[in-house]
Amino acid sequence: MQQLEPEVHARFLAGRIARKATRPRAKQAWAAAVGAAVLLPLPALALPVCRPPGSLAEPWAPPGAWLLPPALLLALYLAGLWRLWRRAPGRGITPLEAAGFVAGILLLAFVLGGPLNAYARWSLGAHMAQHMLLLAVVPPLLLAGRAWAAISLALPRAVAGGLHRLLHPASTWLAARLGPATVAHAAVMVLWHLPGSLQAALASERLHEAMHASFLLAGLWFWSALWRRIRGQGAGPAPGVVATVSLMMVMGFLGALLTFAPRPLYPLYGFRAPEVGLEALADQQLAGLLMWVPSCLPYLAGALWLTWRGLGRAGRAVRRPAAGLPGRNTG
């Protein structure tokens, strides 16, 4: 498989030519001519693809077409927010909620277009950071901003009404399915981190983009369902707590496998990590620790928030009947 990678192909050809140097002189000349014809144009073709990333201070890679939808959403959100706050300053969407949405869009741009994206092709730790940000950090930030409330004000009334009639039933149905959302969230984490799946995604740009899209969509589905549990008045905290703890267990198990594995599990990163100064096994251990410890913090925060809200509702339910009881007659 490594011989199919561009950075390995040049070395593979060079190794074959070196072995052919022991043949007779006629075959030596023929091998040298073929090698020169193949290898001379190779740097011009392979250098933009396989050149290791430089320092973080170097210019970022130019953004691709994926940046257009987030940029459009941000523009519509800010336009609708300006219209909303012009009518009623500070009403509907608080500045903190708006800051969460803007931070989510900026973080999404950094994850998919910044230096982290360049290093993700060479370091499993950087790639894992990408995945965990798309699953656990970007979605709750985007949902906290109540995007539709602002974007609908920036669109023409007929367009906003049509989109609402089209998307509202599906979004409501999905937000009410916490169990399937949790299963999909865990499945995306497990399946894409199988060695074969991850290496296939690295070999195909389209599949790589589909992988990132699946992380973001699975994150949005799960966090929207959990957000409904947090905001809902009649929803109990137990299902949300069970869902978040289950995902933390899955992430902890995968993180432990990567951290304590005795050898590199991803052959492609076993070759690429040393090219950027990383030991392959240490890079894999870093990826496991990122999945195991810091990535669980958003889920832990969600579980604690649900527990706190549930205890608060239980306390208010106890106080209301107690307030309605008549006082004891002491006379």
CB-based contact 133:107 (threshold 8 Å): yes
Please report, for the chain, how many H helices and E strands are present, in that order: 17, 0
Three-state SS annotation for 143-210: HHCCHHHHHHHHCCHHHHHHHHHHHHHHHHHHHCCHHHHHHHHHHHHHHHCCHHHHHHHHHCHHHHHH
* DSSP type of residue 262: S
User: Measured between alpha carbons, how far is residue 157 from residues 151, 154, 164, 226, 329 in Å?
Assistant: 11, 9, 10, 30, 63
Nearest to 290 by CA among 320, 324, 254: 254
Q: Mind listing the pLDDT tens digit of every residue in the chain (331 residues)? A: 343 344 444 444 344 444 444 444 444 444 444 343 333 333 333 333 445 565 544 545 555 677 788 888 999 999 999 988 887 766 778 889 999 999 999 999 888 877 788 888 889 999 999 999 999 999 999 998 888 888 988 888 888 888 888 888 888 899 889 999 999 999 999 999 999 999 899 889 899 989 999 999 999 999 999 988 877 666 667 888 899 999 999 999 999 999 999 999 999 898 889 888 889 999 999 999 999 989 899 999 888 888 887 776 656 666 666 555 555 554 4
Q: How many CB atoms lie within 10 A of CB 248?
A: 19
List CB contacts of 143: < 8 A, sequence separation 6 or more: 220, 223, 224, 227
What is the pTM (predicted TM-score) of this model?
0.75
Cα angle: 21, vertex 27, 30; to 5 degrees? 100
Rounded Cα distance between 31 and 16, Å, is: 9
Place of tokens 């002491």: 330
Nearest to 135 by CA among 67, 187, 178, 176: 187
Helix pair 195-203, 205-231: axis angle to 10 deg: 120
